[in-house]
Structure 1
Amino acid sequence: MLARELLERYSSGERDFRAANLKGADLSGVNLSGANLCEANLKAANLHSANLSHADLSWADLREANLTDTDLTQTNLSGAKLNRAELAEAQLKSASLAGADLNWAKLPEAQLQQASLQEANLTDAELDGANLSQANLDGANLRRTSLNHAELQQVELNNANLRRVKLNQAELSQADLRQSDLTEADLMAANLQEANLSNSNLRRADLREADLKAANLNRANLWSADLREANLLEADLSEAYLIDADFDDANLHRATMPDGSVHD
């Protein structure tokens, strides 16, 4: 299907374009709000600044597509292929990306507040400066993902793979990171106030200067973690594994230690 035919049919009121072949099509700046593009082939398509809000793009092929500054508010992208797609500054508020493949995708400054990303693959993706506040990433794969300076307040990352993730200076206050794997994660100067890290794996994680005030680290594995100059005021470290962890110049005032005692 040619882009011109699609736009003519859309303007006449048609909305069902499922499985359409629009590979490499130039659809920059167009309005396709509410369109059904389920299983459509949009590989390498140019959708820069397009309006795809409330559209159905579930299981669509968007590999290498240009979606920079595209409006994908409340769009269904469940199971979509977005490998190496460009999504810088895209609007993805309340979008569904459950099970989507975003391997190597670029989403700097993207807006993903309250988005659903359960079981999504974000391996090696770039989300520096993105806003994922209150998003659901339970079970997602974020191995080596870059989230430096990202906003992740109250995010759900239960059972997520965050090995070697980059979260330098990220905002993670009240985040749910229970049972997540943060092995060798970069959390330097991250804000983890009141975050739930119980039963999480933080082996060899870099938590220098991180703010862990009132954080829940019950039964967390902090083997060889670097916590120099970290703020652990009133943190819960009960039953945590702290062998070879570095707490030089860390604030442990009123923190609950592994043996249940409260630090001076």
Structure 2
Amino acid sequence: VNKLNWGQVTEYPYKIDDSIQVETTHGQFYQLNLEHIPTYDLDGNEVAGAYNNDVTVWYTLGADGGSNARYFNNCGQDAVNNYYIYSKGNVTYTSAGHSKIESDGPEMQLFVNTLVRSIIVATTPPEVKILNGIAVEDNKYDIIGRSVKTAEDGTVSPDNTIPLKFKVTDEDIAAGDTFAKAKIYIDANDNGTYDAGETILKDYGRTLQNEMEYDEDLLVLATVAGVQTEVLNLYTSNRLKIGIEVMDSSKAVGQAFGLYIRRNYFELD
């Protein structure tokens, strides 16, 4: 069998080679629906490379050098017809078990990885990390920022930013796959969850990708959302607390919170 995607199934607790020999198994009777359903942004534009099909094929059947070698060599890694391990949400399918598995070989290790995935996906939500913050406890971060310059008329200098860098990791899905929902919001109630009426700075819909690093400017997001003054007032008084909330296809929710702490810096020019 041959690896098609990278994730926990291929890496933990055993790191599995790209191709391994397995005991005799059967071909598949049904095709997988891997149709890429387009994802759209809030303006109705299709987002290139972002899809909302949550089926991930991890390994496909491959040639063993016997009579079926020509078939597999000609069709390549056909995930629709020749899947060996795939997952959808918190369900994982494997073709292992058709024949007895050697107890100390790579096929058994891959089977163990598959079992581990089945256990953890039912209980593990997406993990959100704020990369430009200092972790203070659990999913809470302090983010050190600089003073924001404003002119006498209240306009903000264009060289100002309120940066937010973050990454979301979910072992349920392959790197690059998208989440069901995701947003950045102002946690005005400071209660560790999004409440109706709280200001959403960015709604990603189904476009946020697994294992991707994001670099946002909250001043830009606030301007687009029409709440620049609110964000500036909170930021300059060290009361700007933002939440990042991400939901996967199994409706498991991961969150992180960042409190901006403003510091004055010396002008060097």
Give the shorter-chain TM-score range. Answer: under 0.3
Quick check: which has more Rg, 1 or 2? Answer: 2
The answer to which structure, 1 or 2, has the higher relative contact order (CA under 8 A, 6+ apart) is 2
Output the TM-score relative to the length of structure 1: 0.22
Which protein is richer in helix relative to its size? 2
